[in-house]
Amino acid sequence: MAKYSRSELEKMIELFKQAIENAESSGDWVKHLGPLYTDDALYQWNIGPNQEFRAQGRKEIEAYALDAQMEGLEDWEYPYYDFVIDEDRSEVIGFFRQISPVKREDGTNYEVEGVSGSRFHYGGNYQWCEQKDFFDFGNLKALFIELAAVDGLKPELKKNIQNLATGQLLPGNYLIRPKARISKKLRGVMAMTRIALLGR
């Protein structure tokens, strides 16, 4: 495994942060972030208990992670505010915010609560060869519900939510295991309802 200097990793972080700012300003995430991934890079994140996102290679990362998955989110902001560098492993942990352009009555922006971050593996030549994002999916869903109540979701995002609700997977999404039968889901709901009402 190649080892890179801390100064090179720090420069990569600065290039990445600048690319995000440029993408936020222009709305073109593919143009500004695509070149920062190796041709065989892997990009992943979790989407709840039974679904993952996976893009293998720069072409899929551009088509799925930076394009299809960003529909309706182009004008959101994702500023990274802290990084932890491990030069021995050529890895970086970055923490970011997910900020909607829609404002609350008090003037603050709607924002995903909790911790959001990414684990990067550096592949040299100022490109990531791996990125895995993590965030509180429950908080993200709760925020989307809040935004829906104030008509703060773009049509493209509404369409993606509808597709997910009807069982259609977005590009790059896949099931971790086969879907549970409706009867099994109902048993789980009934069991949780009993616990909530009776404590057993």
Phi, psi of 94 (to 5 degrees): -120, 145
Q: In this structure, are residues 45 and 133 in contact, taking their beta carbons and an 8 Å threshold?
A: yes
Q: What is the pLDDT of residue 196?
A: 85
* Residue 168 in domain: yes
Nearest residue to 172 (alpha-carbon basis) of 70, 82, 84, 78: 70
Question: What confidence tens digit (pLDDT) does each residue in 121-156 have?
Answer: 999 999 999 999 999 999 999 999 999 999 999 999
pLDDT band at 172 (very low <50, low <70, confident <90, very high): very high
Half-sphere exposure of 11 (CA within 13 A, CB side): 9
Q: What is the pLDDT of residue 5?
A: 94
Quote the number of domains for the chain. 1
CATH assignment of the domain containing 152: 3.10.450.50
* Residue 114 in domain: yes
Rounded CA-CA distance 47/148 in Å is: 19
* Residue 118 in domain: yes
* Residue 1 in domain: no
Q: Is 78 helix (H, G, I), strand (E, B) or coil?
A: coil
Q: What is the pLDDT of residue 33?
A: 98
* Residue 30 in domain: yes
* Residue 13 in domain: yes
Residue for token digits 């109540």?
149
When the pLDDT of each residue in the chain is averaged and rounded to a whole number, the result is: 93
Higher pLDDT, 128 or 179: 128
* Residue 110 in domain: yes
Lowest mean pLDDT of 6-20, 30-44, 101-115, 185-199, name the range.
Answer: 185-199
Q: What is the pLDDT of residue 195?
A: 85
Mean pLDDT of 32-57: 96
Mean pLDDT of 62-76: 94
What's the pTM value of the predicted model, to 2 decimals?
Answer: 0.87
* Residue 78 in domain: yes
The answer on pLDDT for 160 being more than 80 is yes
The answer on pLDDT for 2 being more than 90 is no
Rounded CA-CA distance 82/173 in Å is: 28
Name the residue range of residue 26's domain: 6-198
Q: What 8-state DSSP symbol labels residue 68?
A: G
Half-sphere exposure of 178 (CA within 13 A, CB side): 4
Q: In this structure, are residues 125 and 41 in contact, taking their beta carbons and an 8 Å threshold?
A: no
The answer on pLDDT for 1 being more than 70 is no
